[in-house]
Structures are given as structure tokens and as C-alpha cells.
């Protein structure tokens, strides 16, 4: 029902004399309404997209253009083109993130994931792996240099996946924190220290086109959404200035990177984050959504297939310049309810791949087969029922 309404929503937006809150109001080649309803301000997100955002001003106008922008930060419309590569389907290889708590603390040891799983999954059609790690492993001293011992182990996993032809998400798994303190807030890591981490990682992987930079796992309980957007911008800028200019960057919202909350919480702020050339096509929203009763990913049974939530996300992405997201965490137990619901969810994602470009199921790697959401292969090489019935049918 919601999918059938989308064309009508867009038609209504074009025929109104004023754009509603959160709708587009300008940009290069824009031919729709250029004034906003009272209480909102038409705000430029980039040369190709302006949006009606809440503000104290009354109706505001913006000009549009059909010519190439003269902005020094925008090169051409081609650099704003959304991701159009292969649909991405795969799995989290957990282990370097073991013992990272939701307050951003870390207690060694970690457990590097076995590289043998990579060939197993690639043979089944997987073309993306997310490899989470503790920030404290990457730089044991806040603002310090990358630890070469950790990097050697991490590279073994990453390079094995790259050599197999897969994409790899380099994921810092610290919940927007270092030992309990929020990035960009009093007492926490500064944006400069956060940028320093990403500058070093980006320089190291700058020549690898199949690397995807996941700037932070599951930010939550943020004091300021604007401050978080500023921290994300600092990371994006550092990555590009380090020479990694071609790769996708995943930018997460609030409430544990909730796909459900992105449109109404951090999403409107993250729309202002731009790439080094003033464009946004390579900045992908990083979203998570589990299927159990409290969306925690801690229960074996599933109660929803999330398609209504994901349809709302798709609508929001399309309404905001055809932006894109990647579902980097989702999953369920090896139960009949999850086999049905996860299959339905992933089929929806694949059917809407122009907006949600892929998924990574949680989790394999160093989890044993008794873990409630395990998709780790059995010792005899067979797969978990959830993988066979829900994940494999929806791989690329």
C-alpha cells in the first residue's frame, strides 16, 4: 500500500506552490516549488539539493539553475551520481570487536575472525564483509598512531576478502565513544582525534577501491545531533584529505544507527554532511534494524519483517535527493519465525536496491555456533538454517 502511494506523494510535492517541511525546494535542475511553508527555511545541502528545514524564519525562497555550478567545492553533477554498482550482500565477521561495550570501553583480548570463512561465503555469493574492530586496538593511545601488530592481523582478514573480489567495510565499533566519553563532547575524544584515526586508516587503504569506510558503529544517547553531524563531517573530510577519494563512506545516525529513527532524528542533520567536492553520492547512510521484540538482536525469535519501517526509510531517502543507505547489521535466530521474517526483509532490501544498496547479516567470524544470532558455518562446513533459508536466497 505504501509503495503505491509514492508516485502520488511526489506529484503533490510538485504541484504545491510551497514545499512542506523536509521537502526539496531548490538546486541545480530543480523545477519544483522554491518557497517553504511558514516556520521552515530553504537551506542548501549541496549545489544540487536544497531542503525546507525547521527554522525561525517565515517563507523563504531559493534560486535554481540549469547550468553547471560555479561553486569551488563542486566539480560536476557526475560526482553526485548515487552508487550504481552491484547489489551488496554479505555478513559481519566479528572478533576484533569482542568485549567492546556500549559505553565505548574495551577489555582485551579480542578474537580475530578466521579467514577460512571468507572463501566459504564467497563461494555462496557473498560480495561484502563488515569487519568490526575496537578503536582501542587500532590506536591504543587516543590520537596516537595505528598499532602495527593489530594492523597486521586486521589486514590479513581484509586483504583475504579483497583478494576474493569482495567489498570490505572497515568498521570502528565504539558507539561514538572512547571509554565512556562521547566524541565531540566535553571529556570525550575531540573531532581532531577522531579525524586522526580516520586519516591514518584512509591513507592505509587509499588504493583499495573495494574498501568502504564505516566511520562509527551505533551511536546512541547523543547529547547533540548537530555535534554528531560535525564529528561525522570531520571524519569524512579526513578520509578524503588522506587520499581515499573514490571509496564509499558509511555515515550513521542516532539510536544505535536505527533505520527507523534516521528520518526523524539524526538524518536531517547528516544531510548537511558533504564530500570533499561538495557532493553526497558516495556518502551512504549506515543503518541497523533487528527483528526481535525490542530491536536489540538478543532474542532468537522474530516478530516483524521490518518492511514497513524500511519503506518509510526508502521514501525519506527518495524525498531527499535519492540518497542511499546500507543495512550493515540485521539478523535473527535459527528459528522458523526468523527464517520467514529475515527472508522477507532481505527480499525487500534487494527489491529496493536503488535506495538500500546492500546488507550485512550479524554475525559470523569468531562467534561459535551456539551464539543466538550465529550464522557461523558448522565444523563440517554446512550452514545454519537461517543462512540457508533467509540469507542465501537474497545474496547478489
CB 173 within 8 A of CB 100: yes
Contact 166, 118 (CB under 8 A): yes
Q: What is the DSSP letter of 387?
A: I
Asked whether the beta carbons of 49 and 27 are under 8 A apart, the reply is yes
Cell of 96: 576484533
Closest C-alpha among 27, 80, 22 to residue 51 = 22
C-alpha cell at position 388: 540457508
Q: What are the φ and ψ backbone dihedral angles of 4, each rounded to 5 degrees?
A: -70, -25
In sign, the C-alpha dihedral spanning 98, 183, 79, 204 is negative
Is residue 41 within 8 Å of 55, Cβ to Cβ? yes
* Cell (9 digits) for 11: 506529484
| Cell representation of residue 314 | 526508502
Task: Give residues with Cβ within 8 angstroms of 334, minimum separation 6.
Answer: 300, 374, 384, 385, 386
Q: What angle do CA 311, 317, 323 make, to 5 degrees?
A: 140
State whether the Cα torsion 349-162-115-140 is positive or negative.
Answer: negative
Catalytic site positions = 218, 329
Amino acid at each position: 500500500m505504501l509503495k503505491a502511494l509514492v508516485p502520488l506523494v511526489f506529484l503533490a510535492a510538485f504541484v504545491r506552490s510551497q514545499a512542506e517541511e523536509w521537502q526539496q525546494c531548490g538546486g541545480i535542475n530543480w523545477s519544483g516549488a522554491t518557497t517553504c511553508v511558514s516556520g521552515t527555511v530553504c537551506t542548501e545541502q549541496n549545489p544540487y539539493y536544497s531542503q525546507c528545514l525547521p527554522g525561525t524564519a517565515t517563507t523563504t525562497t531559493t534560486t535554481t539553475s540549469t547550468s553547471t555550478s560555479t561553486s569551488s567545492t563542486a566539480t560536476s553533477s557526475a560526482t553526485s551520481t548515487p552508487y550504481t554498482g552491484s547489489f551488496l550482500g554479505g555478513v559481519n565477521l566479528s572478533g576484533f570487536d569482542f568485549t567492546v561495550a556500549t559505553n565505548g570501553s574495551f577489555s582485551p583480548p579480542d578474537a580475530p575472525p578466521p579467514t577460512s570463512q571468507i572463501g566459504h561465503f564467497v563461494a555462496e555469493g557473498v560480495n561484502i564483509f563488515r569487519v568490526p574492530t575496537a578503536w582501542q586496538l587500532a590506536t591504543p593511545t587516543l590520537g596516537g598512531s595505528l598499532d602495527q601488530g593489530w594492523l597486521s592481523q586486521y589486514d590479513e582478514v581484509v586483504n583475504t576478502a579483497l583478494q576474493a573480489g569482495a567489498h570490505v567495510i572497515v568498521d570502528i565499533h565504539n558507539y561514538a565513544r572512547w571509554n565512556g566519553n562521547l566524541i565531540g563532547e566535553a571529556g570525550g575524544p575531540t573531532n581532531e582525534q577522531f579525524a586522526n584515526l580516520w586519516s591514518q586508516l584512509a591513507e592505509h587503504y587509499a588504493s583499495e577501491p573495494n574498501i568502504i569506510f564505516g566511520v562509527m558503529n551505533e551511536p546512541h544517547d547523543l547529547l547533540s545531533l548537530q555535534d554528531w553531524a560535525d564529528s561525522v563531517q570531520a571524519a569524512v573530510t579526513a578520509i578524503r584529505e588522506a587520499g581515499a577519494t573514490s571509496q564509499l563512506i558509511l555515515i550513521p545516525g542516532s539510536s544505535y544507527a536505527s533505520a527507523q529513527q534516521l528520518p526523524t532524528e539524526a538524518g536531517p542533520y547528516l544531510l548537511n554532511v558533504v564530500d570533499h567536492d561538495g557532493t553526497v553520492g558516495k556518502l551512504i547512510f549506515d543503518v541497523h534494524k533487528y527483528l526481535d521484540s525490542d530491536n536489540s538482536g538478543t532474542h532468537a525469535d522474530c516478530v516483524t519483517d521490518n518492511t514497513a519501517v524500511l519503506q518509510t526509510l526508502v521514501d525519506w531517502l527518495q524525498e531527499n535527493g535519492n540518497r542511499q543507505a546500507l543495512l550493515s547489521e540485521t539478523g535473527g535466530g535459527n528459528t522458523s519465525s526468523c527464517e520467514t521474517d529475515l527472508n522477507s526483509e532481505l527480499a525487500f532490501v534487494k527489491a529496493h536496491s536503488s535506495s538500500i544498496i546492500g546488507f550485512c547479516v550479524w554475525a559470523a567470524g569468531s562467534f561459535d555456533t551456539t551464539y543466538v544470532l550465529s550464522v557461523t558455518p558448522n565444523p563440517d562446513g554446512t550452514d545454519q538454517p537461517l543462512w540457508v533459508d533467509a540469507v542465501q536466497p537474497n545474496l547478489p
